[in-house]
Chains A and B, each alone.
Chain A
Amino acid sequence: MQVRVESRPSYGMAVVSLDARETIVAESGSMVAMSDGLRVTTEFNGTGGGGLFDWIGAVFVALVRKFLAGETLFVNHFRAISEGQEVMLAPAMVGDVEQVELGNGRKVTVQATSFLASGSRVVVDLIWGGFQMLLSKEGAFFMRCSGEGPLLINAYGAIEKVVVDGSYVVDTGHLVAFEGSMTHRLKRVGNWKSTLLSGEGLVMEFKGQGTIWLQTRNMNALVGWIRPQLPK
């Protein structure tokens, strides 16, 4: 399997080349184009750990997401049935796509809305970010990715990589993904006055060593700008 990302950073699109029997798993609705030697099946994402309980949980969550957030956790599996197949994948928003290579025990946790695709040997577990995450307006779910192979993540805006050694704070609206070896917790920024008046909302504090992927624009800020433009 080979992945290359074109048209970066504004209109990032992943072009995935597959040999026979290789599979790429992609977020529903992300396919742009594909060659004709591929078989497509639709599954729930995030059932990596694989017990019945996890499966039921994933179905429930997928349905809740579909009806409440207008977004699904369904994925399409593209399996090549002959040599030299190709799939092109793109996210809904304008912005970048980045490939992260997993293996040797590396874990990367992705904000659910930033998951684009993964190789079939990447194990994806759905993580509930906790009730606190519901307060932050951004996704309350994460995909914890481990195993081996390529992982593709997408962002609104460009992707800024920050290598952390110690402790680092990120606005939840700008978080894309983080290395699973780090611990994280939601907190307020500054004192109570700042929490209420700074316009910064909730932030996430990371501790440990690893990379954090940030997006340089924020969907909620965009919505806030567009709302006054709506006709009365």
Chain B
Amino acid sequence: MKITVNHKPAYALAVVDLEEGETVVAEGGAMVSKDSHVGMQTSAGKKGQGALGGLLKGLKRMVAGESFFQNRFTPEGAPGHVTFAPTLVGDIAVHEMTGGSLFLQSTAFLCSAEGVEVDAKWGGAKTFFGGEGLIMLKATGAGPIAFNSFGAIREVDVDGSFVVDTGHIVAFEESLTFKVRRFGGGWKSFFLSGEGLVCNFSGTGRLWIQTRNPAEFGRAVGPLLPPREH
């Protein structure tokens, strides 16, 4: 499996080349196009997990802000390709997993090899991703995984300590430990600095941040729109 990203950073598109019989798992609704001989199957869980296992998986994913159902694409009879795009304008990053774990912001998952297991995970008692939800995704296993952002993605190799606004985190390796705290010196900067909660990462590992914050964008645009009709 090879994942190529075209049209970075604003309108990134993931092009996935698959060998015959190889499978890519994708977020529901993400498919843009595919070869006709690439078959698609829709399910909540993996093959062999059973109905209940699938249901639990799907529910957990939904709580985390992802789709209940996922689609599996497999070329039949010859190699083939599928392309995927996220909902918002923004970037896609690809990471080759080699056994460790990767934490993802809840709506960041786009697609991965079948050998990568993506599960919803409780972020802890503190609102981990600020307004973005208490739940995050944890990817384990081996193979490529592609995740998307709002705005461009910047990779940061942390060695020591690093601070990120919670709304700008896309993903980070498990080797990093994190602590959510108030920004700045006191309550005054917490309320008035416009920064709110930040995440303090420490250790050694890679971190992916996004150059825009979807919640802030929503708050900027939402009030300018007419109220919902009931």
Contact = CB atoms under 8 A, between A and B. Distances in A.
Interface of A: 9-10, 94-96, 157-158, 160, 162, 166-171, 174, 189-191, 193-194, 197-200, 205, 212, 214, 216-218, 221-222, 224-227, 229-232
A44 B101 CA distance: 58
Nearest to B32: A174
Majority SS of interface residues in chain A?
mixed
Contacts of B223: 231
Interface of B: 6-7, 10-13, 28-42, 67-69, 71, 83, 85, 87-89, 218, 221-223, 225-228
B173 to A, nearest CB: 28
B67 A231 contact: no
Contact of B7 (A9, A94, A162, A197): A9
Contact of B225 (A162, A217, A226): A226
A170 B11 contact: no
Contact of B6 (A158, A167, A169, A227): A158
A96 B41 CA distance: 32
A189 B40 contact: yes
Contacts of B225: 226, 229-231
B87 A224 contact: yes
Nearest to B40: A190
A169 B42 contact: no
Contacts of A217: 11, 85, 89
11 contacts: A94-B89, A160-B7, A160-B83, A168-B33, A189-B40, A197-B68, A200-B40, A214-B33, A224-B87, A225-B87, A230-B222
Contacts of B30: 199
Central interface residue in B13, B42, B221, by most chain A CB within 10 Å: B42
Contact of A197 (B11, B13, B42, B83): B42
